[in-house]
Amino acid sequence: MNSLQNKEAQSYIAALIAVLIWGMFPTLVKSTLQFASVEQLLVLRFLVASLLFLPMFNTVFNKLLVIEKRYLALFVIFTIAVFFSQTYVLSQVPASWYVAVFTLAPIIFLLVYRETLNLFGKIGVTLAIIGMGLFFTSMNDHTDMNFLTMILLIISMLSWVGYSIFARKLHSQLNDREIVALTSFVGFGSSFVFWGTKGFVWEDLSLSILGLCVLTGVVLPLALVLYSFSLRIKPIFAMFSQYLEPIFGLLAAALFLGEVMGAIQYLAAIVIIIGTLFVGISSRQKK
């Protein structure tokens, strides 16, 4: 196996590990938001993430001076938009609703990225969409969603596409850890400002909830570094592998919470996995 093949294999593994983390992330966030406010979670999460990347601050700052300001500004805007809207929405709706709307992200990414798919890619995308449709028609979560929450949910999904696209544009100047370091610094700065608009109100949190906040600040950067690495090498697979998120999420719920998947959900999971494999085959054929 040559160096290119090694990197391709690593990019597939990185994408799958990132998706595994993200599959459990909405449940982790919702569990935390039962006891912590949105601003508390955001400040603590990005404080931890920023501390992890603090040794890289000067390097990242110096590189920002030579990055095209238009791309940098849009990356910052999408970073703020995706994490604020994501966290607020997860405080209002079931995680399954959030994941369901996010299944549109790979399609929009594909349209904006203007990637031409071969036959395997088209079959894979079609199967992934069909599988996701089956998956969520079998869900039993219902909620009353107001107009603002729906708008923020859509903004969150579109912002994730924007974040992915402009992360790709910054790849020529920043490595994967530097991109996530920048994400963390922007996230902490904007979260601190947001907290200030709320009067710096702080509610007492138990050690277990503080631990969950810290955990989100550790696992999110890890997932983002892996995602950026995969996005750099296999962007289409990196995005479409996210169709596996709800499967990993339900499997985690079954393992740790005793929840059970129904027959339709098992069928949908198989269809999604096959579709994702086809997208992977398609990306391997396009050197």
What would the pLDDT profile of 158-187 be if each residue is shown by its tens digit? 899 999 999 999 999 999 999 999 999 999
The C-alpha atoms of residue 187 and residue 172 are separated, in whole angstroms, by 22
CB 181 within 8 A of CB 53: yes
3-class DSSP state of 65? coil
User: For residue 1, is pLDDT > 60?
Assistant: no
Q: Which of 18-22, 126-130, 259-263, 264-268 has the lowest mean pLDDT?
A: 259-263
CA atoms within 13 A on the CB side of 59: 12
**pLDDT reported for residue 62:** 94
User: For residue 56, is pLDDT > 90?
Assistant: yes
User: For residue 286, is pLDDT > 70?
Assistant: no
Confidence of residue 20 (pLDDT cuts 50, 70, 90): confident
- pLDDT tens for each residue of 81-120: 999 998 888 888 766 666 666 766 777 777 777 667 788 8
Q: In the structure encoding, which two tokens stand for residue 9, read together?
A: 């294999």
Within 139-280, strands assigned E span none
pTM comes to: 0.83
The C-alpha atoms of residue 45 and residue 251 are separated, in whole angstroms, by 25
Selected residue with higher pLDDT from 276 and 148: 148
Q: Terminal CA-to-CA distance of the chain, rounded, Å?
A: 15
**pLDDT reported for residue 263:** 79
The chain-wide mean pLDDT, for the chain, equals 84
∠ at Cα 12 (246, 167), nearest 5°?
A: 85
**3-state helix vs strand vs coil in the chain, percent to 5:** 80, 0, 20
Domain boundaries, the chain: 3-117+143-234
